[in-house]
Amino acid sequence: MIHSSTTFTMIASMPRFLFLAALTLALATSTAAARRRQIHLRLYMHDITGGPGQTAVQLVKGPGPAHPFMPGAHFGDTTVIDDALTEGPSAASPAVGRAQGSYMLAGLKEPVLMVSMTVALTGGAYNGSTIAVVGRDDISAAVRELVVAGGTGAFRKATGHVLWRTARMESRDHMVLELDIYATVPGAVAASSDGHRQAGVLNI
């Protein structure tokens, strides 16, 4: 049997207990946030849809209707890519990796692509690491924002976003895209890359 005095003591102590629990949770969250590191990469992606050096191939001809603003394109068109990534916008710039994945025409009336790809880095401080990038690419917008949805190596458990811009057209079949990748990773993962910087791939 619980006496009334005991019950009162339990009730009186609950607000303090809840306060301490909330404080502990806040401190743990703050500590976890403090241990995370931000990494910024600026890369240039070369999407070549035809001719010599082609890196993007249409895998599926969409069965949907013709797109009103993209001649020759149909809803559902799907292209698989293995695009070169370079430090600068020129194809002659040093290579830093590959963008491997696909994009699909997902807009019936809007020029919108659904992008799903892996940024595989092959040089510098992040050699061997990958970043998963997904999201909506409205090619009519000057800047598009996609999602960093994880990664491997230095980008394990990464979160963040990608600012995606069309840098220039080298030819009708060769589009150069600028990718500003802002990724947040656990500090322990990023620590091995401390002090390393290279042109076009910045650790900030």
Average pLDDT over residues 79-96: 97
Inter-CA distances, 80 with 77, 101, 187, Å = 10, 6, 34
Backbone φ and ψ of 24, nearest 5°? -60, -45
98 and 156 fall within a common domain: yes
Contact (CB, 8 A) for 181 and 160: yes
Please give the Cα distance from 83 to 48 (Å, whole number). 7
Count other Cβ atoms within 10 Å, centred on residue 136: 17
11 and 99 fall within a common domain: no
pTM: 0.77
Tell me the CATH number at 156: 2.40.480.10
28 and 41 fall within a common domain: no
Please give the Cα distance from 40 to 193 (Å, whole number). 12
28 and 68 fall within a common domain: no
Query: Pseudo-torsion of CA 38, 156, 149, 160, nearest 10°?
Result: -10
Residues ≥6 apart with Cβ < 8 Å to 161: 145, 146, 147, 148, 182
Strand 174-186 versus strand 201-202 pairing type: unpaired
27 and 107 fall within a common domain: no
**What confidence tens digit (pLDDT) does each residue in 31-75 have?**
555 578 999 999 999 999 999 899 999 999 988 899 988 888 999
Provide the CB-side half-sphere exposure for 189 (13 A, CA). Answer: 20
**What confidence tens digit (pLDDT) does each residue in 122-162 have?**
988 899 999 999 999 999 999 999 999 999 999 999 999 99
25 and 51 fall within a common domain: no
Helix (H, G, I), strand (E, B) or coil at 172: coil
Q: Is the pLDDT of residue 11 over 80?
A: no
52 and 153 fall within a common domain: yes
148 and 78 fall within a common domain: yes
196 and 98 fall within a common domain: yes
Provide the residue range defining the domain that includes 30: 1-34
86 and 179 fall within a common domain: yes
